[in-house]
Amino acid sequence: MSAPLNKRLLLSLASGGLLFTPVAAHEPPTPLLQTLEKLACAADARTAQQKLDTLFNISPPGQDWPDEWLGKQPDHASLYAGTLDIALQTLLTTAKRFPELRETSERVALQWNYCDVLDDQQFYDLSLQRSELKKVLADNDVPLKWQGFRQWGFLTPDPPDRFVPRLLDEIRLAPSAYHLFLHQVYRQHCFPHPETGMLVSEAEAPRDTVEGHTFPLLVEENAQPQPYPFEWNPVCTAPKPAVATQTQTAQIVEQLPPQTGLKTQTAATVVATHSEKKAAKKTLLVQPVTNRQRVVTPVIPAPSQSPPVVEEVAATPVVPASPTNAPPFSIPPQEGENGAKGNQGKALTSAKREEGQVVLPAIVPIAAGGDIPMYIEEEESATQQAHSTTGIIDRKKKKLRLAGSFADTLSLKDGSNGLSASATWSPKPNWFISGNTSFKDGKVGYSWSVGYADNKPGGWSAQVNNWGPLKPGDGLALDKAVVNIGKKINSETLAKHKLAASSNLSIPVKGKPGLSGTLQWNPKPNWYARTTASLPLEGGKPNWNYAFGYSNPKPGKWRVEYSNYGKNNFPGDNLKDGAITVSRGWQF
């Protein structure tokens, strides 16, 4: 089915002029932009997969760049560099929102040829008319300020977390086949090199392979850049917007660079050396940029300018956004994060942590400085490779699976100071043996824990603890040990409000059992506040305790916590009886 053409663009074409005529007002989005908007707003992986599928094979005949008209108007194919910038950003966001779609997102981006759009350090808009490829200098004032190109490594400097397609970075094919694949992507499609981040035009002397236009090429040397005619304000109607993703998006907008960062061409080198990394080698060519404010008004195309409908227009209605400083677009919740289908159990393993998230243990310690340092599972490395004619390339270095911490605790109640050191060995994920030794008031004490701790939402924990402090010579003191069974609550509602909760049944070997519940709030990354209410099951008063502080869970980082682990009565507090603990953890 051929899509109806945008009338204004059609008029432009009919008049025999260039496609890129000056436009004063925003045009309705083209089919490619509509598809990208739906992809950005996809509420689940299945929908996103469908949209990604429509982005394959949308190039005009003989070309490898994506057509604004999805290849359905082969006589009038065109592409704005700004749209490709949006496409790259949307594909990257999709890969992050739906990790299972990362490979498909990468495939979409890797199928395209970027040589004509980003040529000799300039962005160009492209059009194919009457079998002639026309390139017109693109306006730098595009909606995402080349953020998409920058994130994938096309511009200088590379962001610290440059997105490198795994399909390109990992050698999954036979090396001889990989060489051909890399050649096509890097040399023939002008995609950044997976290791150096450099473009072929920067790293090597020009060669014929980057040419090869099947159509006559006309570069409008003297033409003035034409304003980008479209808006990019995907207004999604997802029922549960993910706060974290909104924040991420807002950060991206805030971090838009003051200039485009287009780079000058370096002296051609045959092959990049390892040390000649892109960031250190390139220089900036500062371009004037108009600091146009992003428009946040709703996109409601006038009937006379109705854009070609790609599909399912009714399924994702465009609704007015907040007229004030609302985020430019909101993105539906990530799967797994808010309990959507398809990703449960994949996003986080028990000890893997999201950036800035302070994991609430199902079984909370009962004394300041008494935390059990847990071994953080490393991300799966996908770099293990075999090789033609020989064998391995990369093998995961074997870890000791030891985690440890040192803590200094100052009691506000009596002014005493205590030092402690903890070590945990985790032979397998979630299983651990831990010991803690402390030095306070000239006395040495220790405690121990052993068991299983699955601290992800919904996970169970079962441990035997002797919270101590035991004195030298006490041995394991099993008669003073406590059996704890804990359960982390799995709740979308809690997660939405940055809350985590757990319950814990405590059964002393000698003593009365108790039940407790803990609620933790992570208002900002690495900041937390936590409270535990305990109820003796065989008589006795309920009590509560609390703690708050800052904790960076990464190995080698610091934690500062105020805690009051006393058996405080309901209601009331006694801040002055608490303790301040400073600790630092490692793992090997």
Partner 1 sequence: LPASSTLHARGFACLLYRKGWGCEQLRSDTFCALSGGPDNSCLGESKTLCSKDLEMAKIAWKYFENNYNPETGLYNAADKYKSTTMWDTGSALAATIAAKDFDLIDDKTFDDHIQAMFKTLTKMELFNKQVPNKAYNTEKGEMVDYRNQPSPDGIGSSALDLARMISWLNTLGCMHPKYAYPAKKVIERWDLKGLIKDGQMNGLYRDPVSKEVKLVQEGRLGYEQYAGKIFRELGYDQHISSTYNNEFREKIDIYGVPIAYDRRDPRDLGAYNYVVTESYVMDAIENGIDDENRPLLENIYKVQKRRWEETGIVTAVSEDNIDQKPYFLYNTIFTAGLPWNTTTDKGVRYDNLKTTSTKAALALALLFPDDPYSKELAYAVGTAYDPDRGWYSGIYESGGGYNKAITANTNGIIMSMLLYKKHGEFYPSCKQCKRGMKLETSKTKTCDVCATE
Q: What residues line the site for partner 1 (CB under 8 A)?
A: 107, 110-111, 167, 170-184, 187, 193-196, 204, 207-209, 270-274, 382-395
Q: Among residues 204 and 561, whose Cβ is nearest to partner 1?
A: 204
Question: Using CA atoms, how far apart are residues 565 and 252, in angstroms rounded to an integer?
Answer: 40
Q: Which residues contact 437 (CB under 8 A, 6 or more apart)?
A: 420, 421, 422, 444, 445, 446
**Left, alpha or beta for 342 (phi > 0: left; psi -120 to 50: alpha)?**
left
Least distance to partner 1, CB of residue 38, Å: 22
Do the strands 402-411 and 514-521 form a parallel or antiparallel pair, or are they unpaired? unpaired
Least distance to partner 1, CB of residue 569, Å: 57
Least distance to partner 1, CB of residue 171, Å: 5
Q: Find the helix or strand (DSSP H, E) in which 50 lies.
A: helix 45-53
Least distance to partner 1, CB of residue 177, Å: 3
Q: Among residues 201 and 465, whose Cβ is nearest to partner 1?
A: 201
Q: Among residues 176 and 325, whose Cβ is nearest to partner 1?
A: 176
Q: What is residue 66's DSSP assignment? A: P
Least distance to partner 1, CB of residue 85, Å: 21
Q: Among residues 287 and 383, whose Cβ is nearest to partner 1?
A: 383
Do the strands 122-129 and 76-79 form a parallel or antiparallel pair, or are they unpaired? antiparallel
Q: Which residues contact 160 (CB under 8 A, 6 or more apart)?
A: none
With beta carbons less than 8 A apart as the criterion, state whether 484 and 470 touch: no
Q: Among residues 209 and 574, whose Cβ is nearest to partner 1?
A: 209
With beta carbons less than 8 A apart as the criterion, state whether 241 and 330 touch: yes
Residue whose token pair is 């760049």: 65
Q: Among residues 70 and 198, whose Cβ is nearest to partner 1?
A: 198
User: Cis peptide before 469, with omega less than 30 degrees from 0?
Assistant: yes
Q: Among residues 58 and 481, whose Cβ is nearest to partner 1?
A: 58
Q: Among residues 57 and 255, whose Cβ is nearest to partner 1?
A: 57
Handedness of CA 419, 425, 430, 433 (dihedral sign): negative
Least distance to partner 1, CB of residue 382, Å: 7
Least distance to partner 1, CB of residue 551, Å: 32
Q: Among residues 183 and 443, whose Cβ is nearest to partner 1?
A: 183
Question: Using CA atoms, how far apart are residues 148 and 93, in angstroms rounded to an integer?
Answer: 10
Question: Using CA atoms, how far apart are residues 314 and 321, in angstroms rounded to an integer?
Answer: 17
Least distance to partner 1, CB of residue 421, Å: 33
Interior CA angle at 244 toward 42 and 339, to 5°?
60
3-state secondary structure at position 175: helix
Picking from 506, 415, 494, 521, the residue whose alpha carbon sits closest to that of residue 461 is: 506
Q: Among residues 184 and 237, whose Cβ is nearest to partner 1?
A: 184
- DSSP secondary structure letters along 420-487: EEEEEE-SSTTEEEEEEEEEETTEEEEEEEEEEE--STT-EEEEEEEEEEEPTT-TT-GGG-EEEEEE
Least distance to partner 1, CB of residue 169, Å: 9
Least distance to partner 1, CB of residue 203, Å: 9
Question: Using CA atoms, how far apart are residues 228 and 136, in angstroms rounded to an integer?
Answer: 12
